[in-house]
Structures are given as C-alpha cells and as structure tokens.
Amino acid sequence: MINDVAPLGGEVIGKAASREDAWWLCKRYGLKPFPLDDASAVSLEDAENGSKVWTVPCEHTQFPYDRAAFENRRRDGLAEFESGLPAWPVAEENGIAFQTFRQRLKRGWSGERAATEGVRDIAHNPNDEWEVIALENGLSVRAYRSRVQAGCPEPIAATMGLSWRRW
C-alpha cells in the first residue's frame, strides 16, 4: 500500500510503499534522515485528514538548498506510475538519460513506459570500412553516423576527435 511521506514535524514530500522507500525518499531530497538501523525509525502514522503517512526522523524538516536534491524533486514530479510513485527514479535505475526520459514524456508516452522501455541500440555494420575505423578510434556508431548525416566526409568523421566540425 502506498502512503504519503513526511519528515518528522514537516510537510508531505512524496509517496512510498515501505519504510525503506520513505527513508530513501527523504535522503534523495536532501533532508538527511537519521540512520535506518532498525525499522522502528520510520513509522506509519495517521494524518489529520484520516490517511496514513510515513514519518521519517530527519535532520531537516524543510528542503535545504541542495542542487541535486532540488533536481530530484523537480524530476520526480514529471511523471508517475499508476500507483502514484514517481517514474524518474525507476528510469534512472534502468540507465535512461533524463533528456531521453523527458522527450518520451513530451511525445505522449506514459510514465511507466518512459521509465521502463530500454533504449535502442544501433547495430554496427561490419561492411562499412569507415565505421570499423571509427569504432577502433573509440567513436560510437551513433556519433559516427550523426557526423556523416550532418555532412562530414566519412574519412574525417571516422578519424577526427571533438573538433570534427572545424574540418
């Protein structure tokens, strides 16, 4: 069952399904929860409106200014699963870049699909001699092909470093 999460004495900051998830949410948002040595540190209490709230003892009850924590709060608010949990942490665990996640949402994907569907891998063409040279030089297939598509000649696209646009 999913319930709201709040630092002890503070406002609700999100939702979690377990004590550990509630503790990690507070940590993720920069509230510095006290160490979770035993399960009794986080408690499920009745809120004023009759719902249940995970309360986490933390050093801060309001958000301290921490750029990473601010970004996590902003990104967590972009999309949710049907259960009400934020989708971005799952996307992050699945290795999906934030820009990819955000573009998927802009295209109308659901939060669950944007967070769980893997990224496309571009297949290497072993018959393309310049692509083979690009891979030997440490360049990805995607980078090589985007250079060629941008108008860069194949020999230069495969051998130039970061200054390829100045050819």
pLDDT at 164 over 60: no
Query: Does 38 score more than 80 pLDDT?
Result: no
What SS3 string covers 81-111?
CCCCCECHHHHHHCCCCHHHHHHHHHCCCCH
> Considering the domain boundaries, does residue 72 fall inside one?
no
- Res 19: pLDDT: 87
Q: What angle do CA 92, 97, 103 make, to 5 degrees?
A: 115
> Do 7 and 31 fall into the same domain?
yes
State residue 166's pLDDT score: 58
Q: What is this structure's pTM?
A: 0.57
- 150 with 106, same domain: the answer is no
Question: Residue 138 above 60 pLDDT?
Answer: yes
**Domain tally, the chain:** 3
Question: Which residue range(s) make up the domain with 49?
Answer: 3-56
Domain annotation covers residue 64? no
Over the stretch 58-102, which tens digit does the pLDDT of each residue have? 888 887 777 778 888 888 888 888 888 889 888 888 888 889 999
Confidence of residue 39 (pLDDT cuts 50, 70, 90): low
- Within this chain, do residues 7 and 43 fall inside the same structural domain, yes or no? yes
